[in-house]
Amino acid sequence: MEYLLLQVLNGVQLGLLMFLLAAGLTLTLGIMDLVNLAHGSLYMIGAYIAWTLIGVTDSFVLGALLALPATFLVGVAVEIVVIRRLYARDHLTQVLATFGLILFFNELVRALWGPGGKSIAVPTFLNRTIEILPGVPYPAYRFAIIVVGAAVAILLAWLVARTRLGMLIRAGASNRRMIGALGVNIELLFSLVFGLGAVFAGLAGLMAAPIASVRIGMGDDILILALVIIVIGGIGSIKGAFIAAMVVGQIDIVGRAFLPDMLKTFMSSSAASSAAPAISQVLVYVLMAAVLVWRPTGLFGQRT
Amino acid sequence: MRDLLSSLRTPRGIATALILLVLAALPLLTQAFDQRYLLSIGTRIVIWSIAAVSLNMILGYGGLVSFGHAMFFGVGGYAVGILSAHGVSSGWIQWPVALLAATAWAALIGALSLRTRGLYFIMITLAFAQLVYYVGSGLEAYGGDDGLNISRSRFPGLIDLRDKANFYWLCFALLCASLWFCNRYANSRFGLVIRGAKSNELRMTALGFPVFRYRLAAFTISGAFGGLAGILLANEGAYISPAMMSWVKSGDLIVIIVLGGMGTLFGPLYGTIAFFVLEEALPPILNLAHKGWGEYWMIVFGPLLVLIALYARGGIDSLLGRRHD
């Protein structure tokens, strides 16, 4: 029972990280109608910048806080140099160009930081366990991810539902030409939203760094998962992205944690431990295929 | 025949004829100049061209952006590899089974994917490709993530595929057959429906064509040729692994199609050659500019892709003059 609770919490933590990544992606897709495969590169760059800044400042919190505006600037720069030219183009052009950006950023990071992976240590004040329930310890750092992730999700929900920027974002998602005609500075809005998405991606990258590792291409696989999440949730829907991220997080973790034991009942233990992660990944894609077959525009997507 | 001769007088015809001639004679050329390494690159170029031709049938002519075409490499390759691992080494069994598997898989996922449109179609094909990828990496008995060494298919009494030149010529013959088929496909009534649905699906539907069924048939045919490329790829390296169907390979195939010219017969061939030549030539060129830069050739290649996507959508084919059809 305790084990189940811990695994569910791990699933929530993974789901929140993926939500941070998916939120930026679904905003750019919903508002600018832009497929941005290079979103995973911003996740990677956030983590690498954080690694450098944490080394310079010798403080995890300070380094992480400084890395966020830095990632914002990288995001805005990418938007101005390349992305801006892609809004009016078809999806194929966007896929191709942002695929080129991935190759560029992976190689750039390799040239700047070297081919080896980096690791960010868990900050000392979080390097312990806390009791989430009496007698049930849980790593404090993972708990912190859940707290920060949930806080950002609430902040984002507030931003989208209650602020002027959020109003423009929602208006842009339903009819971007109209808000331009009403005199909204669309260029600025798009740059801001893209930069915001970059910050969320960078935040997810640097928070994941102490658990996984900082390496080249770290954003590529999780990007695909994030794309799956926004497609399940419905493009442009923050609520859909959140729900889908939570479901995918649970499938992934529960698959890894419980499938090996189930599989061992009828196959060898080494085969079971290698098949389980693959099966939990397969389940995610089966879920997506099922959702799309059932509702071709995702759970909360707008019908066309 | 007269068409063929008259097309030889255009720059496109001359370029294509030269490329095909060089490809046909490649084993002799590499032997004469003692560049065996080039033959293995040439083999991969020819195999990838077949895959690109097959993707072009749906992406180029049909406007269906499939972002998971490398999965057919996997289905074809793994069918051969799994049979080989169980001691079935005869190509007479391996190849038909692999082709059937790729065709059936294409029909199944085509039926599901084609219900969606635009971006959702890109994503669902990507998702199915990832699904196949993870199934491959979960097959511990067949190497899991590390992949599996296999032996080349045997066609006793007909052809010995272990001979590199023989294998190359077989691949080249299959490429010619694919190009011939694609030409027939694109100019048939069937192909015209597919191309018509690309420019205006609503109008084709209003004209009474069951667009979904046509597209499903095209997707299935394309998957079968993709599976053929997978069979050849597994034989070329005598090796199968999930890496042969990673999503990056699917991206590479799209790059190749756009680079060569979407919806043109020989575009995929030009694109594949250009892609491999860039991959081989950029590092040495960059090293000439500054020692050590060659290692980071993708820093140049990535932005090049961005520029191609933005400004050169006609691809190499459009450099060869206007098209008549």
Angle at A21 between CA A18 and CA A26, to 5 degrees: 110
Three-state SS at A118: strand
List pLDDT tens digits, range B161-210: 888 899 999 999 999 999 999 999 999 999 999 999 999 999 999 999 99
pLDDT at B231 exceeding the cut of 50 = yes
pLDDT of A139 higher than 60 = yes
- CB nearest B130 (choices: A95, A279, A285): A285
Distance CA A114, CA A111 (A): 6
Return the axis-axis angle of helices A164-174 and A140-162, rounded to nearest 10°: 80
CA distance A207 to A200: 11
Query: Could you give the CA distance from residue A15 to residue B311 in angstroms, rounded to a whole number?
Result: 39
User: Does pLDDT of A52 surpass 70?
Assistant: yes
pLDDT at B268 exceeding the cut of 90: yes
Rounded to whole angstroms, the Cα distance separating B136 from B33 reads 40
Domain with residue B138: its CATH number is: 1.10.3470
Q: Which of A104, A268, A294, A297 to mutate to test the interface with B (most CBs of B within 10 A)?
A: A104
Residues of B in contact with A86 (CB under 8 A): 310
Task: With respect to residue B324, please indicate whether it lies within any of the assigned structural domains.
Answer: no
Type and span of the H or E element at A130: strand A129-133
The alpha carbon of residue A92 is apart from the nearest alpha carbon of chain B, in Å, by 7
pLDDT-derived band at B1, boundaries 50, 70, 90:
very low
Name the domain count of chain B.
Answer: 1
B325 belongs to a structural domain: no
Token pair of A301 as six digits? 């997507």
For A151-182, what is each residue's pLDDT tens digit? 999 998 898 889 998 888 878 777 778 888 88
| Contact: B310, A224; criterion CB under 8 Å | no
Of A210, A195, A238, A161, the residue nearest A61 (C-alpha): A210
Kindly indicate the confidence band of residue A136, based on its pLDDT and cuts at 50, 70 and 90.
confident
Q: Is the ipTM, as predicted for this complex, more than 0.90?
A: no
Percentage of chain B surpassing pLDDT 90? Answer: 60
From chain A, pick out residues whose CB is under 8 angstroms from the CB of B65. 91-92, 95
Q: Which amino acid, A259?
A: L
**Helices marked H in B139-261:** 164-187, 189-199, 201-206, 211-237, 247-260
Cβ neighbour number for residue A110 with a 10 Å cutoff: 17
**How does pLDDT run across A210-222, given as a tens digit for each residue?**
988 899 888 888 8
Cα of A131 to nearest chain B Cα, Å? 36
Q: Which domain holds residue B104?
A: 2-319
Residue A229 touches partner B, C-beta closer than 8 Å:
no
pTM of the model: 0.90
DSSP-assigned letter for residue A89: S
What sections of B115-187 are H helices per DSSP?
Answer: 118-138, 164-187
Give the residue, B262 or A255, on which the prediction is more confident.
Answer: B262
- Please state the rounded mean pLDDT for residues B253-269: 93
Residue A137's pLDDT band (cuts 50, 70, 90)? confident
Q: What is the pLDDT of residue B82?
A: 94
| Nearest-5° Cα angle at B149, B95 to B108 | 40
Taking only the tens place, the pLDDT of each residue in B2-49 is 556 666 778 888 888 999 999 998 888 888 888 888 899 999 999 999
**HSE of A198, CA atoms in CB hemisphere, 13 A:** 26
Which residues have C-beta within 8 Å of that of residue B97, sequence separation ≥ 6?
B79, B83
User: Which of A28, A92, A232 best tests the B interface by mutation, with the highest count of B CBs <10 A?
Assistant: A92
Share of chain A above pLDDT 70, in %: 99
Q: What's the whole-number average pLDDT of chain A? A: 88
Using one digit for the tens of pLDDT, what is the confidence trace for A189-211?
Answer: 889 999 999 999 999 999 999 98
Q: How many CB atoms lie within 10 A of CB A72?
A: 20
Contacts of A22 (CB under 8 A, 6+ apart): A226, A229, A230, A233, A241, A244, A245
Domain-located, residue B282: yes
Nearest to B170 by CA among B26, B19, B4: B26
